[in-house]
Structure 1
Amino acid sequence: MIPEGNLRSNIDRFLGFEQLYDRFRPEAPPQVVDLLTRYLSGKPALVVDLGCGTGLSTFAWKDDAERIIGVEPNPDMIGKAKAKQAAMDNTGHMSFIQGYSNEIAIPDGSAQIVTCSQSFHWMEPVSTLREVSRILADGGIFAAYDCDWPPTVHWSIEDAYNRLLAKSDALLSRLASPDEQAIKRDKEQHLQQLRHSGLFRYTKEIVFHNVEQGDAERFVGLAVSQGGLQTVLKLGSAELDEDIAAFRRSAENYFAGRTLEFIFSYRMRLGIK
């Protein structure tokens, strides 16, 4: 039974491409752990990662928290996270549970840090923040952080990326019934939602960058791993096939076999309980 406030379409959006997602999406950058640990003034006893997906944002805490819990409603995504954990050493202090951001099976006041990595915009914000406040200890930190898409590489292939994703969104609005369409909330409202909740004594937006290395395959993979494009493909449409092929050619022509810097620009909205 899905708790009130959660949409089946938002959960199902991420079915069936967990391998692709985990291969190409960025892991949580080290700045996340550094910033939040500094604000907490110590090593957290418990970090809860909401909407953890395949664990890309959860495993970042592996060596920097006494206990870590990833929470994710999508069975394919959390299945991948558990499979990764099973193949790793020294993860006995980590666990993954299938659950929802506004109904978390964690005791009151037990978490020092709660994070949402590229996931808060899929959640109902009022009930989620109320639940986050319940599980946070006094002085605990909530942080919702997102990177801008696409990463900064070169304007020409960034423009091709944006045009491909814009077409996939337009197709999705035509091909999918209202019940099949996910609701993505405006990330620019995250800070205001934290402030308007009245649950946090201090709120702030922090902007930072993280540099990774990537090639044409990675750049194309980032685009193809986007949920809207994947939904169009899952609906059986071939209308994007030529566009994806053209985008791939553009990326391959630009990279020309090179591995280049990808600059991921992040925006973190945090609140101190």
Structure 2
Amino acid sequence: MIPEGNLKSNVDRFSGYQDYYDQYRPEAPGQAVEIVTAYAGGKPRLVADVGCGTGLSSFVWLGKAEQIVGIEPNDDMRGKAEQKAAAVGSGAISFIPGYSNQLSLANGSVDVVTCSQSFHWMEPESTLKEFARVLRDGGVFAAYDCDWPPTLMWTLEDSYNRLLAKSDALLAQLVPKDDQAVKRDKNAHLQHIRQSGHFRFAKEIVFHNMESCDAERYVGLAISQGGLQTVLKLGSTALNDDIEAFRRQVEDYFQGRTLEVMFNYRMRVGVK
């Protein structure tokens, strides 16, 4: 049963493309770990990565925290994370089902709670109350997201944005309003943290991370977006020509090269 404040549509949005998501999405950058560790006052005993998806934001903590638990309600995404954990063979990391506002963790047992590209899918008031419950005094909550698309060339970024805007417009036509996923405004994260009353200090931190990227990955990043994936899962072919045009444009720009691409991040931190 889904706890109050959560939407089945938000969970189902990420079903069925876990391999594609894991292949093209960025892992959490090392800067995120460094910032949060410093704010927490040292190596965390327990990190809870909530809305962890396939674990791209969880495995980065191996060796940087004593224990890591990834919490993810979507079975497909969590199954991919569990498959990767089995291959790593470390007892320091595990993945469990759960929802952000109903965690199976003891009061004050967690040093760090992270939400990488996930907090905007959560009901903020009940979620922040639950995070404050499980965090120790001085524990850190960090919600961080990268801006889409990555910074490379304005013409590609404009086409990327147009493709995603068209997929969102199609979803509004194809899916009844009551069944649509609800994505909250990321720009409100800091305000929610401050207004919750659960954190003594809150701040927004901006940084970037350079990653190698070829044409296949740049296109893959666009196609891995949940709205576009939902259109494809519904069997619509309305985006096929747009996807191919975008692919040709990206390939023409990259010319077979692998380039260093800037991923821009915004982290909102709260210290209990």
1:71 matched residue in structure 2:
71
1:34 matched residue in structure 2:
34
Query: Are 2:61 and 1:47 aligned?
Result: no
TM-score (norm 2): 0.99
1:102 matched residue in structure 2:
101
Q: Which runs of 5+ in 2 are unaligned?
A: none
1:13 matched residue in structure 2:
13
What is the rounded CA distance, in whole Å, between the counterparts of 1:95 and 1:230 in structure 2? 27
2:264 matched residue in structure 1:
265
What is the rounded CA distance, in whole Å, between the counterparts of 1:177 and 1:41 in structure 2? 47
The one-letter code of the counterpart of 2:115 is C
Greater CA drift, 169-178 or 19-28: 169-178
2:144 matched residue in structure 1:
145
Query: Are 2:163 and 1:164 aligned?
Result: yes
1:199 matched residue in structure 2:
198
Q: Which runs of 5+ in 1 are unaligned?
A: none
2:85 matched residue in structure 1:
85
The one-letter code of the counterpart of 2:236 is S
What is the rounded CA distance, in whole Å, between the counterparts of 1:132 and 1:50 in structure 2? 10
Percent identity over the alignment? 65
The one-letter code of the counterpart of 1:74 is N
- Equivalent pairs counted in the alignment come to 272
The one-letter code of the counterpart of 2:74 is N
**Superposed CA offset, 1:39-69 (max 9, x none):** 1121100000000000000001011001110
The one-letter code of the counterpart of 1:51 is G
What is the rounded CA distance, in whole Å, between the counterparts of 1:140 and 1:12 in structure 2? 31
The one-letter code of the counterpart of 1:125 is P
**Superposed CA offset, 1:113-160 (max 9, x none):** 000000000000000000000000000000000000000011111111
1:70 shift after superposition:
0.3
What is the rounded CA distance, in whole Å, between the counterparts of 2:179 and 2:254 in structure 1? 36
2:125 matched residue in structure 1:
126
Query: Are 2:228 and 1:229 aligned?
Result: yes
1:219 shift after superposition:
0.4
What is the rounded CA distance, in whole Å, between the counterparts of 2:92 and 2:212 in structure 1? 30
SS in structure 2 of the partner of residue 49 of structure 1: strand
Query: Are 2:15 and 1:4 aligned?
Result: no
What is the rounded CA distance, in whole Å, between the counterparts of 1:196 and 1:115 in structure 2? 19
SS in structure 2 of the partner of residue 87 of structure 1: helix
SS in structure 2 of the partner of residue 3 of structure 1: coil
The one-letter code of the counterpart of 1:201 is R
SS in structure 1 of the partner of residue 100 of structure 2: coil
TM-score (norm 1): 0.99
1:61 matched residue in structure 2:
61
What is the rounded CA distance, in whole Å, between the counterparts of 1:40 and 1:150 in structure 2? 30
What is the rounded CA distance, in whole Å, between the counterparts of 2:85 and 2:143 in structure 1? 23
What is the rounded CA distance, in whole Å, between the counterparts of 1:262 and 1:186 in structure 2? 25
What is the rounded CA distance, in whole Å, between the counterparts of 1:187 and 1:12 in structure 2? 20
Q: How well do the aligned residues superpose, as a CA RMSD in angstroms?
A: 0.6
1:242 matched residue in structure 2:
241
SS in structure 1 of the partner of residue 144 of structure 2: strand
SS in structure 2 of the partner of residue 108 of structure 1: coil
1:180 shift after superposition:
2.6
**Superposed CA offset, 1:67-97 (max 9, x none):** 11000000000000000011114x2011100
**Superposed CA offset, 1:211-245 (max 9, x none):** 00100000000000000000011111100000001
What does 1:173-188 align with in structure 2 at a 5 Å threshold?
A: 173-188=172-187
What is the rounded CA distance, in whole Å, between the counterparts of 2:7 and 2:18 in structure 1? 19
What is the rounded CA distance, in whole Å, between the counterparts of 2:260 and 2:46 in structure 1? 34
